[in-house]
């Protein structure tokens, strides 16, 4: 689709020129103090962002769960210091979590073996329809190791984004998020989405991946937990039979 093609081609302002990251999920540090740089960046983004705070214990536990991504990296700094970051009232970048807001440990099964976890991959962001941006650690059917891939809630296909986690932040904070999601929104989406908070998403019926579900303005939309919305999209994609998690049948 047009919006997603623009992301792949790198035409959003700050994504131009980013090569696929093939190192560990951490990428290169932004600077010696990544959180300081990110905090300043969050004060001057091109897109609307809302930061949900977390407590020190949750941040420390979330960072420890990443097994190798230090606080000096963009991913480590986000997970250590924030509960979540909501972009344009639509995309939720996962952090340590907060009351009513799932953290990166919850979504990736590092607390209670959640079914929505993917072996060999790390879910790092979920949108209001349950689509997810996932860091490939070798467990996805598309993309290089270290590359972000997007599981779309309309066609249930994996889309390699062509960049790593730091560039995902660049796109989310300053890129064409509106254009990317244009065909997954409806006239009153912002009014409905703005009141959800970072821990909720929409369950649309009929869902956008079935015949007749393409027109989201005509669908019934119910608020559900963000983690549940992702689990529904992931399960539907697996039922299509086009891929299986690493170690699966």
Q: What pLDDT sits at residue 187?
A: 96
The total of structural domains in the chain comes to 1
Q: What pLDDT sits at residue 236?
A: 95
pTM (two decimals): 0.86
Domain that holds residue 46: 2-240
Q: What pLDDT sits at residue 245?
A: 83
Cβ proximity of 214 and 123 under 8 Å = no
Whether 246 maps to a domain, the answer reads no
Whether 249 maps to a domain, the answer reads no
Q: What is the C-alpha end-to-end distance of the chain, expressed in Å? A: 31
Whole-angstrom distance, CA of residue 93 vs CA of residue 124: 6
Whole-angstrom distance, CA of residue 44 vs CA of residue 6: 23
Whether 247 maps to a domain, the answer reads no
Q: From start to end of the chain, where are the E strands?
A: 49-52, 84-87, 91-94, 121-127, 132-136, 148-151, 158-160, 200-205, 220-225
Whole-angstrom distance, CA of residue 188 vs CA of residue 219: 12
Which residues in the chain show pLDDT less than 70?
1-33, 110-116, 247-249
């Amino acid at each position: 689709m047009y919006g997603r093609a623009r992301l792949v081609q790198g035409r959003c302002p700050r994504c131009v020129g980013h090569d696929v990251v093939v190192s560990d999920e951490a990428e290169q540090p932004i600077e010696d103090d990544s959180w300081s740089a990110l905090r300043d960046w969050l004060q001057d983004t091109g897109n609307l962002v809302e930061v949900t705070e977390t407590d020190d214990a949750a941040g420390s536990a979330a960072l420890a769960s990443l097994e190798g991504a230090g606080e000096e990296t963009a991913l480590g700094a986000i997970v250590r210091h924030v509960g979540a970051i909501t972009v344009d009232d639509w995309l939720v970048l996962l952090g340590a979590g907060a009351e009513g807001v799932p953290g990166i440990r919850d979504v990736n099964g590092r607390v209670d073996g959640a079914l929505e976890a993917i072996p060999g991959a790390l879910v790092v962001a979920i949108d209001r329809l349950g689509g997810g941006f996932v860091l490939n650690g070798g467990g996805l059917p598309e993309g290089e190791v270290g590359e972000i891939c997007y599981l779309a809630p309309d066609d249930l296909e994996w889309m390699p984004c062509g960049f790593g986690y730091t560039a995902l932040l660049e796109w989310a904070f300053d890129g064409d998020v509106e254009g990317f999601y244009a065909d997954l929104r409806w006239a009153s989406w912002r009014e409905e989405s703005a009141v959800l908070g970072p821990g909720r998403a929409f369950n649309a019926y009929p869902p956008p991946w079935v015949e007749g579900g393409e027109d989201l303005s005509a669908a019934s939309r119910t608020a559900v937990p963000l983690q549940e919305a992702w689990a529904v999209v992931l399960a539907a994609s697996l039922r299509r039979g086009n891929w299986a998690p690493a170690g699966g049948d």
